Amino acid sequence: MILTGIDLLMNLLMNSKYIVSLIGAGISTNAGIPDFRGPKGIYNQKNIAADKIFNINYFKQDPSQFYSHMSELITIMLNATPTKGHLFLKKLEDLGKLKMTISQNIDGLHKKAGIKNYIDVHGNFEKFICLNCNKEYPINDEIIDLIKNFNNNKIFPKCKECEGILKPDVVFFGEPVKMLELALTEVQKADLLLTLGTSLQVYPVDQLPSYISENAKLVIINNTETKYDDYAKLVLHDDIDYIVEKLKIY
Ligand code: OAD
Ligand code: ZN
C-alpha cells in the first residue's frame, strides 16, 4: 500500500529514531502571535514598517519602531499558551523520538510547552543587554512595564549603570544567529527533519534543510509553499494544529 498525507506522516514518525524539528512563527499563530510572511503576517501589513523593526542598524539609530511594535505584542506574547503543535513536539520528545528542536521563534512557547532540547537560533526575551556597556539584565517587571507603556510614555528600558538603551537578546537582521554549528550538527544527525510553520526564507536558517544526510527524510508542514517542497518526502499544506489533531499526538 502506498501511504500519503497523515498516514504517511504517522508512518514516518513511527519509523524514525532521531527526529529534529525546525520551527518558525507559524507554530505560534494559533496562540494569537502573528507571523511575519503568512497571509496575516506583519510583512503584509502596510501600517507596520517590518523591515525597520528587526534591523540592528536601524535599532541603534532609533529603537522606537521596535519598542512601539513590542508595546502591542508583549502582553500577547507573555500571556500566550503553547499550541497543539508545541504539545505534539513535547510528546514526540517524551517518546524519545524528537532529539532537538531548532526554533526561530522568540516567544518561548516551546519552552513553556516543556520541550527540553531546543536551540533558540534567533534568541529570546529572557534577557536584555545594554547597547553601550553590554551589562545583562534578566527580563523583569520594570522592563516589561516600560515596554507595555512605551506607546504612551515613549520611555525606553535603560541600563542602570550607564543609561544605555537595552536590547532584548533576540537576533536582529545584521546580527549573527546563535548556535548555528550545533543546529547544523543536529540536522546532519537526523533521520527525519520536520519543519513546522516556517516560510524557510530567512538566511542562514533557511539553508539547514539542504544539509540533511543522504538517507534522511524531510517533512514540511506549512500552510503555504516553500522552496523545499519539491525536495521533501512529504509536504502538508495545512494548519499545524489541524494535522496534530488528526494524528492524535498532543
Ligand atoms: P514566517 O512568517 O516567514 O513563516 C511562517 C510560515 O508559517 C508562513 O509560511 C505561514 O504561511 C505559515 N503558517 C502560519 N500559521 C500557520 C499554521 N497555523 N499552520 C501552518 N502554517 C502556518 O516566519 P519564520 O519562517 O519563522 O527573524 O520567519 C523566520 C524569521 O523571519 C523570524 O524568526 C524572524 C523573521 O524576520 C528575525 O526577527 C531575525
Ligand atoms: Zn550600560
Transcribe 125-178 into DSSP letters.
EEEEEETTT--EEE--HHHHHHHHTHHHH-PPPB-TTT-PBEEEEEPPBTSPPS
Instruction: Give the ligand 1 atom nearest the CA of 25.
Output: 26
Residue 47 pLDDT: 78
Residue 195, ligand 1, Cβ within 6 A: no
pLDDT at 7: 97
Give the model's pLDDT for residue 240. Answer: 98
For 200, which DSSP code? Answer: -
What is the SS3 assignment for 195? strand
Q: pLDDT below 70 — which residues of the chain?
A: none
Q: What's the CA-to-centroid distance between 236 and ligand 1, angstroms?
A: 15
Structure confidence at residue 13 (pLDDT): 98
Which pLDDT does position 202 carry in this prediction? 96
Whose Cα sits closest to atom 23 in ligand 1? 25
Question: What is the torsion angle, in degrees rounded to the nearest 10, for the CA atoms of residue 137, residue 139, residue 144 and residue 150?
Answer: 40
Task: Tell me, in angstroms, the distance from the centre of ligand 1 to residue 35's CA.
Answer: 5
Omega prior to 63 cis, within 30 of 0:
no
Strands of 98-103's sheet, edge to edge?
118-120, 98-103, 19-23, 192-196, 217-221, 234-236
Bridge-based pairing of strands 136-138 and 123-130 is antiparallel
Residue 50 in contact with ligand 1 by CB distance below 6 A:
no
Active site residue 122: yes
User: Measuring CA to CA, which residue among 196, 16, 120 is closest to residue 111?
Assistant: 120
- pLDDT in the model for residue 48: 76
Q: How far is the CA of 133 from the centre of ligand 2 (A)?
A: 4
CB 86 within 8 A of CB 109: yes
pLDDT digits over 188-225, tens only? 999 999 999 999 999 999 999 999 999 999 999 999 99
pLDDT value for 46: 77
With cell 524519545, the residue in question is: 96
Q: What per-residue confidence (pLDDT) applies to 52?
A: 82
Q: Is 16 in the pocket of ligand 1 (CB under 6 A)?
A: no
Query: Helices 240-247 & 84-94, crossing angle to 10 degrees?
Result: 50
